[in-house]
Amino acid sequence: MHERRHAAFATLRAMITTNDLAGELTGRRILLGLTGGVAAFKAAEFCRLLTQAGATVQVVMTEAACQFITPVTMQALSGRPVYTSQWDARADNNMAHINLSREADAIVVAPASADFIAQLAQGRADELLALLCLARPLAAAPLLVAPAMNREMWAHPATQRNLRQIAADGAHVLPVGHGEQACGETGNGRMLEAGELLEELIAFLSPKPLLGQHVLVTAGPTFEAIDPVRGITNRSSGKMGFAIARAAREAGADVTLIAGPVTLPTPRGVLRVDVGSALDMHASTMAEAQTATIFIATAAVADWRPAHAAGQKIKKDGSGQPPSLAFVENPDILAEIARSPRARSGDLYCVGFAAESEDLLANAQAKRARKGVPLLAANLGPATFGRNDNALLLVDAQGVTELPRASKRALARQLVAEIARRLPRAEA
C-alpha cells in the first residue's frame, strides 16, 4: 500500500511540475556538466525538469561523475548522446570542447566538486568539461556552478578562495544548502535541490528591467480573531502575490514579500515576512515601505475586524442566538502608502489590486481614483481564488489594458513588465 501511495504522489507531483514548467525555457540550449559526487542523482532530476521546461539539454560528464551515475541514464533523460571525453571523435572537426561551448546559451555544472572548482580557479583543462568551460565565449555562454561537497571541504580556506576566484573570473556561483550529508555529517555544502536549481537558472536567464529596484509585495488573506479558535478571513490563496514576488526577483529586483496566513513555499531569493491580522500587515508594510521603490498590494486585507477579541472560546449558551459582534474598520494600507510623501514625490510607485464580483471595469476605475494609485490590477475574485490561472484588467491614467486568462506565473511576468514600462525614468 505504501509503495502504491508513494508512486501515486510521485505521478501527481510530476504532472504538476510539468504543467508549471511548460515553456519556461523553450528555445534555450543548456549544457549540463556533471562532476564526481553523490549529488549526481539530483542532476538526473534537474535534467528532467530542464527538458520539461522546454530546454535542449546536452550532458557532459567527467570520469569521476560516471562512478556515481551512468551516461546511459543521462542520455535517456536528455534525449541526446552524452560526452565524456575530450578525445570524442564524433565531431567532424574533433573539437568537442569548441563545438559544445559555442552551442550553449548557458553552462551549468551541477554537481561541482571541490576538485573541479579548483580546476576552474587554476585554469586547468584536464577533462572535456573543464576544457570547454575554459574555451567558452565569456559573453555568450555564462557559467553557473552548483557546489556539492562535505561541510569541512566547503568551509576549507582553499575552497572558499577558489570560489572567490572563479566568481572574479566570471562564473556565477550558486548557493549551497544546509542539512544532512551523504557522509552522515550535517552542515553546509549540500547541492541545491533540482527545483531550486531550475529557479536559479530561470532567474539568471531572465531580462532584468527591475534591476536596482526594491519591490515590496503583500499577498494572501488576513485573519481577524473573534476568539482564540475562530476568526474572519477570506478565500485568497496568495498564489498571485507569490508569483509576482518571484517574477520581480527574476526581473532583477530585491524583493520583500509580506504574507498573510498561507502555506505556499517562499520564492527563492525573496525575503518573506509572515503576518496574521490586518494590523500586523499594516505595521510590517509601513515599515518596509520606507525603503521600497515599488509597492504591489495584492493581499486581500480584511476591511473590518471585531472590536474586541474574546480571551477564551465563545460557548453556545443554548439560546439559539449567535453572540453579538461589533466591528471596527481596519487601516487602508494601500491608500495610506499612496498618500505618503515618498509615493507623492515619485520615489515609491504604487500598484493596487482589486478583487471584485461584478462590474469589474467600473469598480476598478473607482477604486484607483479612491486609492490614488497610478496603476490598479483588477480581477473577478470568485473566478480566481485558489486557482492557478487568472485574468487581469490593468487600469491607469492612459486607459485600460487587458491581460487575458493565463497561468498566474505568466500573468505575474506580464504585470512586472507592464510596471517596468510605466516606471518614471531618471533624467539622462
Q: What is the pLDDT of residues 159-174, one digit of tens each?
A: 999 999 999 999 999 9
| Residue appearing with cell numbers 559544445 | 100
pLDDT at res. 93: 77
Last residue of a domain, one of 154, 176, 205: 205
Known catalytic residues are 183
224, 239 Cβ separation under 8 angstroms: no
Would you call 415 exposed, middle or buried from its count of C-beta atoms within 10 A (0-12, 13-18, 19+)? buried
User: Chain-wide mean pLDDT for the chain?
Assistant: 91
Lowest mean pLDDT among 27-36, 172-181, 293-302, 373-382: 373-382
Question: In total, how many domains does the chain have?
Answer: 2
Same domain, 342 and 292: yes
Q: Is the pLDDT of residue 282 over 90?
A: yes
Same domain, 155 and 136: yes
> Domain of 39: which CATH number?
3.40.50.1950
Cα three-residue angle 42-48-52, rounded to 5 degrees: 145
Lowest mean pLDDT among 6-20, 26-40, 41-55, 393-407: 6-20
pLDDT at res. 16: 39
C-alpha separations of 409 from 19, 48, 222, 230 in Å: 11, 20, 23, 33
Lowest mean pLDDT among 37-51, 157-171, 361-375: 361-375
CA dist 164 and 113 (Å) reads: 15
Assess if residue 45 is contained within a domain. Answer: yes
Q: Is the pLDDT of residue 380 over 80?
A: no
Assess if residue 274 is contained within a domain. Answer: yes
Tell me the three state secondary structure of residue 139: coil
Percentage of the chain surpassing pLDDT 70?
Answer: 93
Return the C-alpha cell found at 326. 461589533
Q: Which structural domain, as residue segments, surrounds residue 346?
A: 214-307+324-421
pLDDT in tens, 5-33: 343 334 334 433 444 667 899 999 999 99
Q: Given pLDDT bands bounded at 50, 70 and 90, which one contains residue 358?
A: confident
Same domain, 227 and 333: yes
Q: Given pLDDT bands bounded at 50, 70 and 90, which one contains residue 384?
A: confident
CA dist 11 and 7 (Å) reads: 6
* Residue 383: half-sphere exposure toward Cβ, Cα within 13 Å: 15
Assess if residue 2 is contained within a domain. Answer: no
pLDDT at res. 20: 60
Same domain, 194 and 237: no
Assess if residue 163 is contained within a domain. Answer: yes
Run of H or E residues at 391: strand 389-396
Return the C-alpha cell found at 75. 542520455
Which 8-state DSSP code applies to residue 83? Answer: B
The answer to whether the Cα torsion of 280, 284, 286, 292 is positive or negative is negative
Same domain, 131 and 235: no
Last residue of a domain, one of 205, 232, 250: 205
Q: Given pLDDT bands bounded at 50, 70 and 90, which one contains residue 76?
A: very high
